[in-house]
Chain A
Amino acid sequence: MAIVGKKDDRLFRTLNGLGMALLIFVTLFPFWYSTVGSFSEGLDFTRGNSVFWPNKPTLANYRIVFRNSEILQSYRVTIARTIVGTISHLVITSLFAYAFSRRGLAGKKIYATMGVITMFFYGGLIPTYLLFKTLSILNTFWVFILPALFNFWNVIIFSSFFREIPISINESAKMDGANEYTIYARLIIPLSTAVFAALGLFTAVYHWNDFFISLVFTTRRELQVMQVYLLKVIQTREAASAMAGGSVTPQEAGDARASNTRTIQMATMLIAAAPILALYPFLQKYFMKGVLIGSIKG
């Protein structure tokens, strides 16, 4: 391969392009396959007749899922948690980061040391559980919000952006008699929408996807997030078939006949993934912006 011939080059490019196309296929096909399954008749799908396109298309699986009160309740919990969790995290973390980015902040070294310690030391599952128990936030909505309020990694990202904002803006604002909160709200936030969007998106994705908190720290059904409900549905056949059970109307009975465990499971998964899959193409430029920041985190 020492000589770069034109022919050689074209061959490599073609093979490389095919390799990448294969990778795209391997990445996207599982999602497509599940989408097809969720729109297919159960028995027909299980026979393997619908791989790339539903052979016998039906909305029965989705009707069954949407009739289920438990999934709707868990969807509500997830939405509430994502909204409250993201906004509160952004406010607390960015306020800290703004003050932290200011020169001459008293106690800055202490705050930095504390923050770095939190990045590298973790008390572990059991001490955390016992803490939540002591604080009486087990089995409350707060367990989703309070532990995720603050994160020093995001402070570092926020404050590195805030530091880029010219100080003279700050000073002239101060002369006009604005206090720090006014400067933060009127000047800093409008000038850093990109970082707010990127970190907000990452935080929202965390809250949307997380099942650990709900699995470990809540037992009440009203606090079950969608991901935990979904886990039940994909791991136990009973949970999935129970959704189709208890048919009363002829329509419900018909839907139950047209579905089976697998297609119901896929419809449930697709509903849970839908917001991310649907928004990803439009928001991916913000994801991209946050990507380098985020990958340094991970």
Chain B
Amino acid sequence: MGLVATDRHGTLRVTMSESAVLQQDFSKRLREQKRGLFFRQIDLQSMILPGVIAMIIFNFLPLYGLTIAFKNYRVIMGVEGFFTAPWVGFKHFTDFFSSQYFGRVVGNTLGINVLGLAIRFPLTIVFALFLNEVVHSGFKRFVQTVSYLPHFISWVIFGGIIMQLLSIEGGVVNNFLIWLGVIEEPIFFMGEPRFFWFLAVFTGMLKEIGWNAILYLAAIAGVDLQLYEAAIVDGAGRFKRMWYITIPSIAGTIVILLIFAISGIFNSSFDQIWVLQNSLNVSRSEVIATFVYKVGLTQMRFSYATAVGLLQSVFAVFMLMGANFISKRLTDRGLF
């Protein structure tokens, strides 16, 4: 081949080899140039550095740590154990599937979250729709501000307050129900397993409904007012306007949030469940997140607990993909 060429700066270059080598030479120069740029930006790059180090240490190293789900890692093995522990394949996964806890833990996780999705998801939209109908803007802002407040309170405090309301020793809920004549003896709400799922759903809703309605309210605020005016001219009432204008206009937001909600049905709020759980209601309150913590860090079964946690993440990814796929088929909308 011709052995004379010019590089991109127009310098005449003569090489003895073929074009591949030339190209190599180019890319090398390009890399050098980039490195030059890197060093010229040394102050900018030094701003990036701490973040990159933090990501590598706290986000990427644990991802490698997931491999112990397929190994038999014991704490005495120390750091080398991450590399040298014997591979056991899917043993920990099958152990979990065949254990007595599988049904209970997955059942509670799904029970609480599916029930929560069915109740909370529509009610949040309803709240947003009706809040939007409040005419007095000061009152509207006040309602909104108050509805966010519980979001900023920790689950320990919020759960603690709930327990006070439901207390068997003169809690206001029991007193009220007795006063109404609904019950004669106070009910031990926190100690009865059969109440737990509803308790989790209801307290979760009370705490987050205002916060979760924000995106809907923002979407509603963006709806073209002319549509409403036209509908009023056509004689559509308030509810018809909600149904035929507002809801279709915010359908995109609804679908996206629904996909996220569905992908979250294997994820419980550890904080919430941990606070509300006790030894009496544990049969209905043990979820994957609390199980992983107990098995992993109190029984020190690291590999097994990692496998259970990984399983939860994998389920979540499948749910996300599935919900996205179905939504694309049905509504032509999706996340990706």
Contact = CB atoms under 8 A, between A and B. Distances in A.
Contacts of A30: 161-162, 164-165
Contact of A27 (B52, B149, B274): B149
Nearest to B59: A118
Interface in A114-140: 114-115, 117-118, 121-131, 134-135
B44 A287 contact: no
Given A12-B133, A234-B156, A131 B58 contact: yes
Interface in A232-288: 234-235, 262, 265-266, 269, 272-273, 276-277, 280, 284, 287-288
Nearest to B275: A231
B63 A262 contact: no
Interface string B198-229: 00000000100011101100100000000000
A234 B166 CA distance: 13
Interface string B49-63: 011101101111111
A175 interface: no
Interface string B297-313: 10000100110011001
B251 interface: no
Contact of A131 (B62, B139, B206, B310): B62
Contacts of A92: 50-51, 54
Q: How large is the interface on B (under 10, 10 to 19, 20 to 34, 35 or more residues)?
A: 35 or more
A168 B62 CA distance: 42
Given A33-B172, A291-B214, A95 B240 contact: no
B48 A96 contact: yes
A211 interface: yes
Contact of B211 (A118, A134, A230, A298): A298
Contacts of A20: 130-131, 134, 139, 143
Contacts of B50: 92, 95-96, 149-150
Contact of A123 (B44, B48, B66, B154): B66
Contacts, number: 260
Contacts of B170: 45-48, 262
A104 B37 CA distance: 9
Interface of B: 34, 37-38, 41, 43-45, 47-48, 50-52, 54-55, 57-66, 68, 79, 82, 127, 130-131, 133-136, 139, 142-143, 145-150, 152-157, 159-165, 167, 169-170, 172, 175, 206, 210-212, 214-215, 218, 232, 235-240, 270-271, 274-275, 278, 292-293, 296-297, 302, 305-306, 309-310, 313
5 contacts: A30-B164, A48-B170, A92-B51, A93-B51, A124-B313
Given A104-B41, A124-B292, A152-B55, 14 more contacts: A4-B232, A9-B238, A16-B130, A51-B175, A92-B54, A100-B48, A114-B60, A115-B55, A149-B54, A184-B47, A227-B157, A230-B156, A276-B153, A284-B148
Q: Which 6 A-B pairs have the closest CB atoms?
A: A123-B62, A127-B65, A209-B154, A96-B51, A150-B54, A124-B309
Interface of A: 1-4, 8-9, 12-13, 16-17, 19-20, 23-24, 26-28, 30-31, 33-34, 37, 45-48, 51, 92-93, 95-96, 98-100, 102, 104-107, 111, 114-115, 117-118, 121-131, 134-135, 146-147, 149-150, 152, 155, 179-181, 184, 205, 208-212, 215-216, 227, 230-231, 234-235, 262, 265-266, 269, 272-273, 276-277, 280, 284, 287-288, 291-292, 295-296, 298
